[in-house]
Structure 1
Amino acid sequence: MIKHTWTLLLGAMTLFACQSGQKKAASAGNADSTATRTVWTAEQANNWYKDQPWLVGANYITSSAINQLEMWQAETFDTAAIDKELGLAASIGMNTMRVFLHDLLYTQDPEGLFQRMETFLGIAAKHNIRIMFVLFDSVWDPFPVAGKQREPKPGVHNSGWVQSPGLKILEDSAAFNKLEGYVTETIKRFGKDKRVVCWDVWNEPDNPNKSAYGTVELQNKAEYVLPKLKKTFEWARAANPEQPLTSGVWIGDWTPEKISPISQLMLEQSDIISFHTYDDTTEVEKRIAILQQLGKPLVCTEYMARPRNSTFFAILPIFKKHNIGAYNWGFAEGKSQTNYPWDSWQKPYKEEPKPWFHDVFRKNGEPYSKEETEFIKSITGKKS
């Protein structure tokens, strides 16, 4: 029964890709001779993936920034930290980073944003690191404001990270539609740039944030996000990027008979399949087995939470065995404070947690665990 259901889902995905391409090409008419590309088939996706190295990296924000806005705004764009920290990443064999943008950056200063992205990509390229950019994100503070950002709450995980778009825009379809320019212009600007490996269009779109912002978040968030996520994929694809588009499934049961509508949409619309898991080896293998049936390359865009038995030692060998790209959460200890665990929202920590939840390097550039970084170097084949 499961095999039959997967066959139906794969057939629906193929039909969706073909119909989407036909509709877009027809609507373009004589106005544009370049038809919007369709969702990649498994063959197209695998042909792309075979030309990639094993993608190993982290979710990256500068240690000097509390959130995406502080990382990218002109006043706090920290090229010295970027150069130093990406150098550390390269030193242990990492060849890619997943990096979050924000719609307010484009609204505030589009050309300035693009210039800083160009600078960032130049520094990354110097260290032979390619970037997966994330356009939208539905996690943590739903009320983002451009400009000077607040200071971190002591001992609290990601206390200043902000959603993109914010709650007010998410509730307002007309306001959301105004973000089409942010999506299309950003991708058009860098859609043929070899330094960009992939576009993650929306991070955890239906995350309810119950543990931190449950009283102010949308109670039926998935219903609000679903049509906007679909539209975002359409906008992104209309920009004709050479790189793949994706949005990672992250919660629930992904088997066809139990998958949520929003997770199904994410799988159907993604050129390559991405997913999140902070689970142990047994659960990770189960989730991989489910997603492998789609026949497309797999990339894990979030993993590694030490107290949950999601460690480099346990999980990276599984990803290598299955040729799955791997982006752990957290890189350099800093204002995001993701070395503290999620439960710090309920009980702020008075001192450094043992073990650290996320992150790889301390503020001074030394590894949190020399044994870990030596293991990463070994598995990536990085020579000292």
Structure 2
Amino acid sequence: MLTRPRAPRIFASLILLATILTSNPLNAQQPGERWSTAKANLWQEQTPWLVGANFTPAYAINQLEMFQADTFDLAAIDRELAWAEDLGFTSIRVYLHHLLWEQDADGFLERLDQFLATADEHHIGVMLVLFDSVWDPNPQLGKQRAPQQGLHNSGWVQSPGAKDLKDRSRHALLESYVKGVVGKFKNDPRVQVWDVWNEPDNLNGNSYGENNLNQEPQEKLALVLELLPQAFEWAREAGATQPLTAGVWLSDRKADPKRLNEIEKVQLEQSDVISFHCYGGLKSLQTWINHLRPLDRPLICTEYMARPNGSEFDPILGYFADQNIGAYNWGFVAGKSNTIYPWDSWQKPYADEPPVWFHDIFRADGTPYRQAEVDYIRKVTDANTK
């Protein structure tokens, strides 16, 4: 599959970063402060439309398998990111894990740098996710388990997991990880946004059902509420020059300002740019936007596209473009993540490929799941990323 030529992104990004850091009076803020609305909106004006996917290569069941030394596969990543470039994607959202830092900080940073370089070769920037409260709360380093047939995200792991969340003596590791990773790439134009914590108030009840209380700490929300503002503080103390965010996601409230829980309030009050998840149709999406627009900050939807739920590229991606909202669909290449299967596969695992894919765009060989979708994505990105 041929990729369309584009000017090297790294040079334009360096010019942009230099402008923001040195010549812009709106940056007269003290280090460690949340961005002003003026600074955040100027950043959006000077940043190309962020459009792409949540990216986990097909070979990896989770963040650990993606980046651990014995499984890290740069050739596979390069191959798949060529397909993303061909779609006109300008960004990808990628999850990290604190245990990778503990295992081998220098090696992890080296592999992450190689990953960013490969993405940049394809004119694609990266949003890096530091923490995640979703799926398995018991992460383990080393060889990861094989996917369970027909089960959505059967091997994805939380960071921090239940043990490290509860054990305050381990929180110094979390701080070291955030400051080490952010500090390394704080001025790197290949990193476009830091997503501090994915779905911090997710208790995963749908995944583990009756066994959930045996999996998650009963005090999980209180522990996260304690750590979340610290995570923002650590990233700012590390000198991040890119914006920080943490996306609200609870679909029953859709960021209704009258119904926010305490964790959502922290997310919205600490984020330089506002991010959210919407797996519903256009009407649901418009409700999210109506609730978030009054915050007067750039909006980025960091997760969308679940076909059976009515969240499809056409018309959702076009609407994001019209509204100048960043957009990252969930899933890219069907692989070990099993995200072609719906969430309800945790209650009824599928023996065969589902009649309609839940997430993902390509099969493992690069063949589009739906050619019409790929054509539509290219049409939208051609019109909005030049």
TM-score using structure 1 length: 0.89
Q: 2:238 matched to which residue of 1?
A: 239
Q: 2:259 matched to which residue of 1?
A: 258
Q: 1:55 matched to which residue of 2?
A: 50
- Deviation readout 1:77-113 (Å, 9 max, x if unpaired): 0111100100000101111000000000000000000
Q: 1:201 matched to which residue of 2?
A: 196
> For the residues of structure 1 that align with 2:172 and 2:105, how far apart are their CA atoms?
17
- Deviation readout 1:168-215 (Å, 9 max, x if unpaired): 111122322331110001001001001110000100011000022323
Determine whether 1:249 maps to 2:251.
no
Greater displacement, 318-327 / 99-108: 318-327
- Deviation readout 1:114-146 (Å, 9 max, x if unpaired): 000110011101100000000000000000000
What does 1:263-342 align with in structure 2 at a 5 Å threshold? 263-342=264-343
> For the residues of structure 1 that align with 2:34 and 2:333, how far apart are their CA atoms?
35
Q: 2:227 matched to which residue of 1?
A: 228
> For the residues of structure 1 that align with 2:304 and 2:219, how far apart are their CA atoms?
26
**Contact 2:32–2:233 (8 Å) recurs in 1:** no
- Deviation readout 1:23-55 (Å, 9 max, x if unpaired): xxxxxxxxxxx9533101110000111111111
Determine whether 1:93 maps to 2:94.
no
Say which SS state the counterpart of residue 82 (structure 1) adopts.
helix
Using the TM superposition, give the Cα deviation of residue 242 of structure 1 relative to its aligned residue in structure 2, in angstroms: 1.1
Determine whether 1:132 maps to 2:131.
no
Say which SS state the counterpart of residue 268 (structure 2) adopts.
helix
What does 1:7-156 align with in structure 2 at a 5 Å threshold? 36-156=31-151
**Contact 1:156–1:345 (8 Å) recurs in 2:** yes
> 2:238 is matched by which residue type in structure 1?
A
Say which SS state the counterpart of residue 195 (structure 2) adopts.
strand
Using the TM superposition, give the Cα deviation of residue 330 of structure 1 relative to its aligned residue in structure 2, in angstroms: 0.3
Say which SS state the counterpart of residue 109 (structure 1) adopts.
helix
Say which SS state the counterpart of residue 74 (structure 1) adopts.
coil
> 2:75 is matched by which residue type in structure 1?
A
Aligned length: 350
**Contact 2:132–2:199 (8 Å) recurs in 1:** yes
> For the residues of structure 1 that align with 2:221 and 2:30, how far apart are their CA atoms?
31
Q: 1:359 matched to which residue of 2?
A: 360
Greater displacement, 169-178 / 261-270: 169-178
**Contact 2:102–2:173 (8 Å) recurs in 1:** no
Greater displacement, 312-321 / 118-127: 312-321
Say which SS state the counterpart of residue 295 (structure 2) adopts.
coil
Percent of aligned positions that are identical: 52
> For the residues of structure 1 that align with 2:338 and 2:256, how far apart are their CA atoms?
34
Gaps of at least 5 residues in structure 1 are 1-33
**Contact 2:257–2:291 (8 Å) recurs in 1:** no
Q: 1:18 matched to which residue of 2?
A: none
Say which SS state the counterpart of residue 112 (structure 1) adopts.
helix
> For the residues of structure 1 that align with 2:147 and 2:338, how far apart are their CA atoms?
8
- Deviation readout 1:48-77 (Å, 9 max, x if unpaired): 111111111000011001100000001000
Q: 1:189 aligns with which of 162, 184, 187?
A: 184
> For the residues of structure 1 that align with 2:234 and 2:30, how far apart are their CA atoms?
13
Q: 1:162 aligns with which of 152, 157, 160?
A: 157
**Contact 1:58–1:328 (8 Å) recurs in 2:** yes
> For the residues of structure 2 that align with 1:174 and 1:265, how far apart are their CA atoms?
23
TM-score using structure 2 length: 0.89
> 2:61 is matched by which residue type in structure 1?
I
Say which SS state the counterpart of residue 111 (structure 2) adopts.
helix
> For the residues of structure 2 that align with 1:81 and 1:178, how far apart are their CA atoms?
31
Q: 2:175 matched to which residue of 1?
A: 180
**Contact 1:208–1:219 (8 Å) recurs in 2:** no
> For the residues of structure 2 that align with 1:374 and 1:262, how far apart are their CA atoms?
39
